[in-house]
Structure 1
Amino acid sequence: MAKIESTFLGSSPLLPCQCRAARGLLDWTQEELADRAGLSRSTVREFEHGRHALQSGSAERIIAAFTSAGVELTGGGGSGAGVRFRTAVAPPGQTG
């Protein structure tokens, strides 16, 4: 049985699957995200694995780290949750 991804506190705009996807898009480790967000690696790890909910302040710090790196969270309106770069990124070897 699949783990439920919506293990967040209250109405947090961040899902564990979005956190993993955003890190993957940026090629960040859990440790890098934790450092950039000013959190412990265990907070990131436990949230991503659905073991605990994020406090609203922790979610805000993670979202701010992604936003400052040029990534935005998407979702709502029936389109599903996701992540993307705020601006178009040229594939490796090509210029904009």
Structure 2
Amino acid sequence: MAGSDEGGQSGAVGAPMSPAQSRGARGLLGWSEADLAAKVGFGEDFVRAFEAGHGDPPPGQIDALRSVLMAVGAVFTGSEANGVRLDSQAGGSEGTRLDGLTTENDR
């Protein structure tokens, strides 16, 4: 299922998304902080602060970010090492390739 957590039940909410997983998912999708914020309806500053590990946002706001990312194919893994990957059946963008990453990709 596109965007579902690995090994999780459909519709079940998994472990909370970490700031690193959020950054990773955005990178895979080729999204900026502003892109994610706009899709959720939050300010870009919220996404930036969360991903930098600042503050203590309510879990519901993190869940909203995670839900948007999952809806477009992000799969959050929580086995021995938390991670994120794109669902191969999601049909979305491949994201930014490693050789294409620059400081500009994060704006």
Larger Rg computed on CA atoms: 1
Residue 68 of structure 2 corresponds to residue 62 of structure 1? no
- Find the counterpart in structure 1 of residue 104 from structure 2: none
Q: Which runs of 4+ in 1 moved over 4 A?
A: none
- Find the counterpart in structure 2 of residue 30 from structure 1: 33
- Find the counterpart in structure 2 of residue 40 from structure 1: 43
- Find the counterpart in structure 1 of residue 75 from structure 2: 72
User: What TM-score, normalized to structure 2?
Assistant: 0.65
Deviations 1:16-70 (A, max 9, x none): 1101000000000000000111211111000111111221111111011101111
> Runs of 5+ in structure 2 lacking a partner?
1-14, 95-107
Query: Is the CA contact 1:38–1:61 (under 8 Å) kept in the aligned structure 2?
Result: no
Given candidates 14, 18, 22, the residue that maps to 2:21 is 18
Identity %: 32
SS for the counterpart of 2:75 is strand
> Runs of 5+ in structure 1 lacking a partner?
1-11, 92-96
RMSD: 1.7
CA distance in 2, matches of 1:51, 1:63: 17
How many residues were matched structurally?
77
